[in-house]
């Protein structure tokens, strides 16, 4: 520890701290632009110059390590004069366009200019002007004359994003910030450069010129598109969400936000919103009031149950719904006598259901996973499924963690990978079993699974060595693993690896409330808090054996189910489909009979349980649009109309109180343990589809966010396959091919990708271009188009 003095305040700081760190620790503010706590030190803006005694000239606080006995003055005449001088230089070329600048009111340059700038400029010469750049549909770089060359954006893409997409070209007064000529900024977390930019050079394209920052109220919320549960500040003007910013939470999203969470809000104000209840009569839709619509729902449900029995009703819930909604939904279904309820719509393999005792979760806190010495990620596209976690793992690798993979494709993760096994989806379990066998050998222990048929290859042994060698390790299953036909085996094997090696084991929760949905019992075989219930049908069974009536809670079956084709067929065959939704989707308009507008996360109070089991509550930030109602209120009234017990809650807190007690701190109800699963490699002949859900098609909200849909990540998918697979089908890279699953044929261009295993065709699901196809990991045909 070093003893230093800042502005007369004595303090001790650890060796290696900078003056900036020391000043922050005692709450002394030093003006700065290029310094950012999460980025490397550039020391190129010079705004943080301070006086250090015995140093001949002012020193930059961000880049000067403290030495014992150092005496620093941040507001002495010398320091202030230096800072004023820097400010004068920074303003020389900065346009005086604050009144029309989007950053006005939240601009660091503006703020610091008030403190350190002159009243007028001595500079009489011509200012330089810099042409605007095209950085893609999310980040606007139209007014690059405003740039002060702090290079925060450059360092962000390189250090956090993993690939330098922005650079500083030319030199001296000709320096310009730009993406490579003709390229856009395509990182899945690119929006963070908008927050980082201390001036109005990089601004939010969707938000531009729509409001002034001081007109907006800031309200807290939680991100609804992945299981991370990023904390949000939703900015609201006149009961409309104007933009979304990250709320710093070091344990979850640090100070970042993925583009998906940042720009999805556009859909909330779109024309695609359902604003009034609608009922279909004789094939035509009619707007109606809530009373009529709910009566219609009651009549539908009682009618079907009287005629075909309660078992003829199936409830499919989206895991992006709030915990309160899911709790009431399962309570209502079970009180009414319906046991067919599930939220795991994209899951294929439910064999572990019976031997499961708690909610599947990450197995550790997010911070614990990110600080593990070795991580094995099984079946996850990472960057697309969990953009911020992928960035966090990248940071972990930089700090020395070993990242190991078992996956169905050799994707670019923009980080160093220690060892990887690339296998077909049905062989994921065999890959993980190899690791288990190697771990057992290394530990000299035996696994409680029959591993006699498993041959351990070198790469699996390297993964096992990495896990065994590490002081702390994590094994995690991603969405591809969860949707794969061998999910239950992966759970069993992963659990054994964790037991033998001492690693944490868990899953990356796919949706915002996957953990909450399991906890409150939106499951066919476990009720609220794990209570025993009469077993119902799971999501796949409800589709495979079509029901007479479906209740859809925030679900668009064609895009949200494992087999969209079969799901739509089941909906069309049903007597009645009751959809609670925020959007009037084309699919729902086609096969539903009644649409009830329920509020998205910004318009209702509620809570999400993230993948580390943390319950995060939030309030509605805007008034529900039109006749939209918060979901929990709708369910409460529906409970009353159906004359069911236990629907007397008056506030969302009343609902929450019913499940928050048993939930406690969450830990006791979380478990990734399974029993009674045997290893069995599914026999597959022919080509198998690898159907991931694209980043910007995961749920109804992002599918309707125009700016996200304009990015390269939302482009119509291509079918990629190993060159050998294409050659066998007589296709060349770039040609148009016909792919077929069941009754649906789609024409897509093919792409050769040597990183894919043989026997698979990778074709994304949930996109309008492929939405009619069948199961995500089912057989698929490929032929010349």
Partner 1 sequence: MLSAESLAKIDREVAKYPADQKRSATMSALRIAQQEKGWLATETIEFVANYLGIPPVAAYEVATFYNMYDLKPVGKHKLTVCTNLPCALSGGYDAADYLKQKLGIDFGETSADGRFTLVEGECMGACGDAPVMLLNNHSMCSFMTREAIDKKLAELE
DSSP 555-623: --HHHHSSBHHHHHHHHHHSSEEEEEESB--HHHHHH-SEEEEB--TTSS-EEEE-TTS-EEEE---SP
- CB 452 to partner 1: min, Å: 41
> Residue 67 and residue 52: Cα distance in Å, rounded?
11
Cβ distance to partner 1 smaller for residue 171 or 281: 171
**Size of interface with partner 1, in residues (CB under 8 A):** 16
Cβ distance to partner 1 smaller for residue 17 or 418: 418
- CB 171 to partner 1: min, Å: 5
Q: What is the dihedral of CA 99, 103, 108, 112, to 10 degrees?
A: 0
- CB 168 to partner 1: min, Å: 6
3-state DSSP assignment of residue 14 = coil
Joined together, the tokens standing for residue 296 give 């219609």
**Residue 156 gets which letter from DSSP?**
I
> Residue 190 and residue 720: Cα distance in Å, rounded?
26
- CB 176 to partner 1: min, Å: 9
Q: Among residues 171, 281, 284, 399, which is the contact residue for partner 1, using CB under 8 A?
A: 171
Cβ distance to partner 1 smaller for residue 171 or 399: 171
- Which range binds partner 1 by CB under 8 A, 110-118, 175-183, 225-233, 730-738? 175-183
- CB 366 to partner 1: min, Å: 28
- CB 154 to partner 1: min, Å: 9
- Which range binds partner 1 by CB under 8 A, 57-65, 167-175, 469-477, 580-588? 167-175
- Which range binds partner 1 by CB under 8 A, 162-170, 470-478, 549-557, 767-775? 162-170
- CB 776 to partner 1: min, Å: 33
178 binds partner 1, rule: CB under 8 A: yes
- CB 370 to partner 1: min, Å: 23
> Residue 25 and residue 14: Cα distance in Å, rounded?
11
HSE (side-chain half, CA atoms, 13 Å) at 567:
30
Joined together, the tokens standing for residue 168 give 């500083």
Cβ distance to partner 1 smaller for residue 164 or 213: 164
CB 293 within 8 Å of CB 264: no
Cβ distance to partner 1 smaller for residue 153 or 456: 153
- CB 167 to partner 1: min, Å: 4
Joined together, the tokens standing for residue 375 give 């991580």
Site string for partner 1, 550-579 (x = CB under 8 A): ------------------------------
The set of residues, in sequence order, having a beta carbon less than 8 Å from that of 228 and lying 6+ positions away, is 252, 253, 366, 386, 388, 389, 610, 611
DSSP 82-112: HHHHHHHHHHHSS-S-GGG-TTTTS-HHHHH
- Binding positions for partner 1, 181-240, rule CB under 8 A: 181-183
Query: Residues, the chain, total?
Result: 785
The helix or strand, by DSSP H or E, that contains position 662, with its residue range, turns out to be helix 652-663
Cβ distance to partner 1 smaller for residue 201 or 677: 201
CB 609 within 8 Å of CB 224: no
- CB 41 to partner 1: min, Å: 19
3-state DSSP assignment of residue 186 = coil
| Neighbouring-strand partners of residue 254 | 249
Cβ distance to partner 1 smaller for residue 89 or 163: 163
- Which range binds partner 1 by CB under 8 A, 160-168, 351-359, 717-725, 752-760? 160-168
44 binds partner 1, rule: CB under 8 A: no
Cβ distance to partner 1 smaller for residue 184 or 203: 184
Cβ distance to partner 1 smaller for residue 148 or 714: 148
- Binding positions for partner 1, 93-122, rule CB under 8 A: none
165 binds partner 1, rule: CB under 8 A: yes
Q: Among residues 89, 123, 180, 457, which is the contact residue for partner 1, using CB under 8 A?
A: 180
Handedness of CA 403, 407, 413, 418 (dihedral sign): positive
136 binds partner 1, rule: CB under 8 A: no
Q: Among residues 29, 89, 123, 163, which is the contact residue for partner 1, using CB under 8 A?
A: 163
**353: how many CB neighbours lie within 10 A of its CB?**
18
Site string for partner 1, 258-297 (x = CB under 8 A): ----------------------------------------
Cβ distance to partner 1 smaller for residue 124 or 170: 170
> Residue 522 and residue 298: Cα distance in Å, rounded?
21
- CB 463 to partner 1: min, Å: 22
179 binds partner 1, rule: CB under 8 A: yes
- CB 130 to partner 1: min, Å: 14
Q: Among residues 170, 452, 650, 685, which is the contact residue for partner 1, using CB under 8 A?
A: 170
> Residue 290 and residue 276: Cα distance in Å, rounded?
8
Cβ distance to partner 1 smaller for residue 394 or 548: 394
- CB 192 to partner 1: min, Å: 18
Joined together, the tokens standing for residue 539 give 């999501």
342 binds partner 1, rule: CB under 8 A: no
| Neighbouring-strand partners of residue 670 | 359
Cβ distance to partner 1 smaller for residue 182 or 283: 182
The helix or strand, by DSSP H or E, that contains position 366, with its residue range, turns out to be helix 366-370
Cβ distance to partner 1 smaller for residue 335 or 752: 752
Task: Work out the end-to-end distance of the chain between its first and last CA atoms, rounded to an integer number of angstroms.
Answer: 71
Joined together, the tokens standing for residue 319 give 């895991």
Q: Among residues 44, 164, 213, 275, which is the contact residue for partner 1, using CB under 8 A?
A: 164
Gyration radius (Cα) of the chain, Å: 28
Cβ distance to partner 1 smaller for residue 149 or 689: 149
The helix or strand, by DSSP H or E, that contains position 135, with its residue range, turns out to be none
- CB 133 to partner 1: min, Å: 12
CB 524 within 8 Å of CB 340: yes
3-state DSSP assignment of residue 426 = helix
166 binds partner 1, rule: CB under 8 A: yes
- CB 26 to partner 1: min, Å: 38
- CB 714 to partner 1: min, Å: 23
Cβ distance to partner 1 smaller for residue 187 or 404: 187
- Tokens 């001492």 belong to residue: 502
Q: Among residues 41, 168, 442, 533, which is the contact residue for partner 1, using CB under 8 A?
A: 168
CB 253 within 8 Å of CB 267: no
Cβ distance to partner 1 smaller for residue 135 or 341: 135
169 binds partner 1, rule: CB under 8 A: yes
Nearest to 99 by CA among 236, 237, 215, 209: 209
613 binds partner 1, rule: CB under 8 A: no
The helix or strand, by DSSP H or E, that contains position 636, with its residue range, turns out to be helix 631-641
Joined together, the tokens standing for residue 335 give 């009180």
Joined together, the tokens standing for residue 564 give 């969209």
167 binds partner 1, rule: CB under 8 A: yes
- CB 184 to partner 1: min, Å: 12
Joined together, the tokens standing for residue 68 give 């014992």
- Binding positions for partner 1, 140-159, rule CB under 8 A: 158
400 binds partner 1, rule: CB under 8 A: no
- Which range binds partner 1 by CB under 8 A, 122-130, 174-182, 239-247, 391-399? 174-182
> Residue 602 and residue 512: Cα distance in Å, rounded?
14
Nearest to 277 by CA among 582, 590, 623: 582
By CB under 8 A, name the binding residues for partner 1.
158, 163-171, 178-183
């Amino acid at each position: 520890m070093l003893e230093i003095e800042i502005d007369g305040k004595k303090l001790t700081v650890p060796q290696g701290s900078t003056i900036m760190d020391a000043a922050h620790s005692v709450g002394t503010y030093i003006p700065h632009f290029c310094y950012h706590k999460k980025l490397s030190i550039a020391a190129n803006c010079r705004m943080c110059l301070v006086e250090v005694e015995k140093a001949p000239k002012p020193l930059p606080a961000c880049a000067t390590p403290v030495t014992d006995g150092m005496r620093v003055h941040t507001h002495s005449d010398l320091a202030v004069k230096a800072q004023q001088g820097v400010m004068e230089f920074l303003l020389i070329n900065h346009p005086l366009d604050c009144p029309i600048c989007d950053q006005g009111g939240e601009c660091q340059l503006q703020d610091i200019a008030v403190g350190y700038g002159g009243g007028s400029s001595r500079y009489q010469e011509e200012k330089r002007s810099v042409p605007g750049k095209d950085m893609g549909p999310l980040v606007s770089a139209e007014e690059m004359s405003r740039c002060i060359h702090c290079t925060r954006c450059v360092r962000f893409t390189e250090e956090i994003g993993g690939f330098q997409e922005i650079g500083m070209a030319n030199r001296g007064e000709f320096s310009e910030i730009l993406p490579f000529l003709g390229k856009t900024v395509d990182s899945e977390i690119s929006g963070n450069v908008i927050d980082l930019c201390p001036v109005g050079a990089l601004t939010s394209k969707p938000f531009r010129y729509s409001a002034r920052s001081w007109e907006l109220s800031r309200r807290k919320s939680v991100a609804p598109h992945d299981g991370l549960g990023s904390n949000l500040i939703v900015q609201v003007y006149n009961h409309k969400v104007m933009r979304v910013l990250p709320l710093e939470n070091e344990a979850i999203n640090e100070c970042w936000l993925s583009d998906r969470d940042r720009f999805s809000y556009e859909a909330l104000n779109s024309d695609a919103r359902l604003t009034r209840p609608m009922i279909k009569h004789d094939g035509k839709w009619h707007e109606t009031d809530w009373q009529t619509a709910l009566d219609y729902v009651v009549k539908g449900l009682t009618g079907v149950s009287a005629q075909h029995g309660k078992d003829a009703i199936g409830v499919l819930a989206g895991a992006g719904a709030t915990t309160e909604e899911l709790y009431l939904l399962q309570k209502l279904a079970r009180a009414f006598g319906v046991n067919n309820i599930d939220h795991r719509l994209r899951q294929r393999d439910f064999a572990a259901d019976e031997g499961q005792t708690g909610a599947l979760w990450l197995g550790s806190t997010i911070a614990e996973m990110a600080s593990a010495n070795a991580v094995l990620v099984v079946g996850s596209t990472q960057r697309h499924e969990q953009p911020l976690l992928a960035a966090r793992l990248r940071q972990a690798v930089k700090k020395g963690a070993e990242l190991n993979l078992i996956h169905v494709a050799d994707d670019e993760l923009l980080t160093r990978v220690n060892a990887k096994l690339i296998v077909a989806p049905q062989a994921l379990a065999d890959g993980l079993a190899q690791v288990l066998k190697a771990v057992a050998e290394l530990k000299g222990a035996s696994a409680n699974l029959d591993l006699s048929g498993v041959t351990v290859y070198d790469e699996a042994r390297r993964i096992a060595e990495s896990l065994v060698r590490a002081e702390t390790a994590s094994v995690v299953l991603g969405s591809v693993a969860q949707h794969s036909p061998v999910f239950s085996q992966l759970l069993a094997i992963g659990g054994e690896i964790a037991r033998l090696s001492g690693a944490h084991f868990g899953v990356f929760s796919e949706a915002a409330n996957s953990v909450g949905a399991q906890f409150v019992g939106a499951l066919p075989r476990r009720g609220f808090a794990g209570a025993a219930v009469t077993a119902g049908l799971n999501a796949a069974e409800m589709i495979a054996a079509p029901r007479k009536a479906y209740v859809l809670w925030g679900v668009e079956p064609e895009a949200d189910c494992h087999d969209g084709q079969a799901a739509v067929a089941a909906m069309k065959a049903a007597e009645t489909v009751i959809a609670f939704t925020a959007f009037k989707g084309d699919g729902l308009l086609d096969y539903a009979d009644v649409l009830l507008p329920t509020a998205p996360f910004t318009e209702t109070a509620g809570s999400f349980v993230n993948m580390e089991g943390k319950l995060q509550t939030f309030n509605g930030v805007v008034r529900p649009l039109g006749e939209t109602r918060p979901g929990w209120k709708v369910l409460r009234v529906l409970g009353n109309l159906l004359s069911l017990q236990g629907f007397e809650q008056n506030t969302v807190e009343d609902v929450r109180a019913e499940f928050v007690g048993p939930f406690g701190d969450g830990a006791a109800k979380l478990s990734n343990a399974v029993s009674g699963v045997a290893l069995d490699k599914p026999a597959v002949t022919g080509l198998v589809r690898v159907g991931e859900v694209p980043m910007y098609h995961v749920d109804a909200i992002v599918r309707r966010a125009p700016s996200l849909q304009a990015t390269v990540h939302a482009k119509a998918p291509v079918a990629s396959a190993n060159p050998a697979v294409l050659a066998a089908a007589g296709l060349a890279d770039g040609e148009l091919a016909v792919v077929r699953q069941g009754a649906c044929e789609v024409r897509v261009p093919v792409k050769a990708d040597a990183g894919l295993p043989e026997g698979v065709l990778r074709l994304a699901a949930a996109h309008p271009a492929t939405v009619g196809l069948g199961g995500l990991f089912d057989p698929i045909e490929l032929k010349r188009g």
